[in-house]
Structure 1
Amino acid sequence: MEAEINQVLVRMQDNLSSTQLQLLKRTLEDVLNTPMTSSACNNAHLLALFLTAKEVEGCSTKTLAYYESTIKHMSLTVAKPYIQICSDDLRRYLSDYESQRHTGKVTIDNIRRILSSFFSWLEDEDYVVKSPIRRIHKVKTPTKTKSVLSDEDLETLRDTCSEQRDLAIIDILISTGIRVGELVGLNIADVDLQNRECVVTGKGNKQRFAYFDARTKLHLQKYLQERMDDNPALFIALKNNGARLTISGVEERLRSLGRRAGVGRVHPHKFRRTLATHAIDKGMPIEQVQKLLGHARIDTTMHYALVNQNNVKASHRRYLE
């Protein structure tokens, strides 16, 4: 095999630089001399290495599971070793996935981003010369205006609450903008009522400070004064022996309050989006909103925030007329 590789190099030496010839030599040796059954080219082995790398980077268990299931599904469908997959294979896979499952463009772009991360890692680790996903650009997704909670909606929800706990949950969600997973993970020890702040653990186990208003402080104080248990969790279930409140428990409770209040569909994420929208609407710099919400990328923050059209009109008159 070495003789054949040398023949190729001799024929290409007039067309390639010495650096390019060396790269070509290593590539030919990897492709021609390495058995496809070896651990270096085994799909399961490469996927395990990639997931380990992402875990070291701080990805959560939930994110790792999503990466794994997405890449495994692609692997089973394409049915090729990762190092042999080309751009056309991935284009066909994404197209078939969309048509067969009737998914939206957002879902397809999420899959594309995960595959891009994986194949970029393969390229960085020299398992492939070039990532096949490079030629597949970001999928254009429709921009939809998502609703937020008005001041009237919030007051109606508060009036509907019969439990001090529910009132405290509504106020801490709307004043901090924390995720529902961060909410249920809070302990009493994480909350500083005096300074109206709390330490939340977000995605990737990253901690940050979240801040709440005076109304939230008062409702939290009343709720904690009612508590007669020794559970360290900030919010506990009203039943089930006062166990820590779960994500599904919060979601179901808010849906029920929303139906009773007649304010439409209410879910934890709607409070987060409402906070981001109001913060930007009132002039808070987008970088500070990003820190407030715990986003790694500012692009993510922009997806949460709606801009009041009246403010756009006023700014146009102020700056452009």
Structure 2
Amino acid sequence: MKEILIDEVLHAMYEHLDRGQRKTLRATMEKALYLYEVTVRDTDEVRYESDLLVTKFIEAKRIEGCSSKTLHYYEKSIRTMLAHVQKEVVHTTTEDLRSYLTSYQERGGLSRVTVDNVRRILSSFFAWLEDEDYIVKSPVRRIHRVKTAENIKATYSDEELEAMRDSCHESRDLAMIDMLASTGMRVGEMVRLNRSDVDFNERECVVLGKGNKERIVYFDARTKIHLQAYLESRTDGEAALFVGLRSPRSRLSISGIESRLRTLGRRIGMEKVHPHKFRRTLATRAIDKGMPIEQLQQLLGHKRIDTTLHYAMVKQSNVKAAHRKFIG
């Protein structure tokens, strides 16, 4: 057992030591361990320590302000990895994680984007272990970002937006579409809105974004008119800005809005109608009309400007016009 332990240490230190240093390390360990018995610890005890570290990490992320949904995704991703690797977390190597990510993608037929999301979560976890001195160096450092295809995602055209508005039979649905289209807010932000969050005079409202951070978003005159008409038609006392159509009226959920938009899309023969596409449409139009990217970043509530750039799709016609203008 001593030889296995020594071999594991030398393997972990291989890239950091030259041949002579490795030889010295082996001799030193053999001498230091001569009077000791080395045994393998019980797997239940190992599992307990790993579980404890995962719990501590999740608590640290909760203090940082991560949402419950994000925390659940983090914990699930880390525990799935540990179940696959079957090693104490502090002894997990780069090779273990590479093997896991490869099998994870092949087994589930998952996209590269999904695999890279898991890699980022593991990177955050092991970086925290390093910062807290549980490990010397994160094994994820040598695992590079998974390259993904840069797909241009579609946005709604003016005609499609008008067709959706025309398909609305309820004032709520019309106000809902206008709100998404003119503010670019996330659907998760919209379902949390209360009537009191809306300032009709300034045509703005305060939303609670990712990380429980508040920001102001703005809506246009058409949205103001349709939203006021919807609120005036309501007879309930519910504080929520958007509620269900049936009594008792209660706050709309994310899935409720997604389902309603799909229904509206089917009425006019549109496929893939979903709330996030409104956000991408606003970002693309803002860039197209010359809005500074820093201002758009603030409007959308993005932490990193790279995220904002991924949202916006530059029209090919504008690229062509710019080429003619600046190059000839």
For normalisation by structure 1, the TM-score amounts to 0.88
Deviations 1:109-130 (A, max 9, x none): 0000000000011111111111
Instruction: Name the residue aligned to 2:239.
Output: 232
Instruction: Name the residue aligned to 1:56.
Output: 63
Instruction: Name the residue aligned to 1:67.
Output: 74
For 1:7-26, what aligned pairs fall within 5 Å after superposition?
none
Give the Cα–Cα distance (whole angstroms) in 1 for the partners of residues 272 and 47 of structure 2: 50
SS of the residue corresponding to residue 242 of structure 1 reads: coil
For 1:4-43, what aligned pairs fall within 5 Å after superposition?
42-43=49-50
CA contact (8 A) 1:236 1:242 kept: yes
Give the Cα–Cα distance (whole angstroms) in 2 for the partners of residues 249 and 108 of structure 1: 29
Give the Cα–Cα distance (whole angstroms) in 2 for the partners of residues 150 and 62 of structure 1: 32
For normalisation by structure 2, the TM-score amounts to 0.86
Alignment partner of 1:293 is 2:300: yes
Structure 2: stretches of 5+ with no match in the other structure: 1-16, 22-31, 33-37
Identity %: 58
SS of the residue corresponding to residue 148 of structure 2 reads: coil
Instruction: Name the residue aligned to 2:4.
Output: none
Residue-pair matches, total = 300
Q: CA deviation at 1:318?
A: 2.2
SS of the residue corresponding to residue 251 of structure 2 reads: coil
Give the Cα–Cα distance (whole angstroms) in 2 for the partners of residues 240 and 113 of structure 1: 44
CA contact (8 A) 1:277 1:304 kept: yes
Give the Cα–Cα distance (whole angstroms) in 2 for the partners of residues 67 and 293 of structure 1: 24
Q: CA deviation at 1:170?
A: 0.3
Name the amino acid aligned to 1:89.
D
Alignment partner of 1:112 is 2:119: yes
Q: 1:247 to 1:274 in 2, by over 3 A?
A: same
Alignment partner of 1:162 is 2:194: no
Instruction: Name the residue aligned to 1:220.
Output: 227
Deviations 1:229-285 (A, max 9, x none): 111000110014111111111111100001102232211111011111111111111
For 1:205-284, what aligned pairs fall within 5 Å after superposition?
205-284=212-291
Name the amino acid aligned to 2:327.
L
Instruction: Name the residue aligned to 2:91.
Output: 84
Instruction: Name the residue aligned to 1:24.
Output: none
Runs of 4 or more above 4 Å deviation: 35-41
Q: 1:265 to 1:165 in 2, by over 3 A?
A: same
Give the Cα–Cα distance (whole angstroms) in 2 for the partners of residues 308 and 314 of structure 1: 10
Instruction: Name the residue aligned to 1:186.
Output: 193
Q: CA deviation at 1:143?
A: 1.3
Instruction: Name the residue aligned to 1:3.
Output: none
Q: 1:162 to 1:302 in 2, by over 3 A?
A: same
Q: CA deviation at 1:41?
A: 8.5
Q: 1:238 to 1:128 in 2, by over 3 A?
A: same
CA contact (8 A) 2:47 2:88 kept: no
Q: 1:46 to 1:109 in 2, by over 3 A?
A: same
Task: Indicate the RMSD between aligned Cα atoms, in angstroms.
Answer: 2.6
Q: 1:240 to 1:39 in 2, by over 3 A?
A: farther
Q: CA deviation at 1:38?
A: 7.5
CA contact (8 A) 2:46 2:88 kept: no
Q: 1:41 to 1:84 in 2, by over 3 A?
A: farther
Give the Cα–Cα distance (whole angstroms) in 1 for the partners of residues 141 and 126 of structure 2: 9
Deviations 1:82-102 (A, max 9, x none): 111111100000000111111
Q: CA deviation at 1:204?
A: 1.4
Instruction: Name the residue aligned to 2:182.
Output: 175
CA contact (8 A) 2:178 2:223 kept: yes
Give the Cα–Cα distance (whole angstroms) in 1 for the partners of residues 213 and 47 of structure 2: 33
Instruction: Name the residue aligned to 1:150.
Output: 157
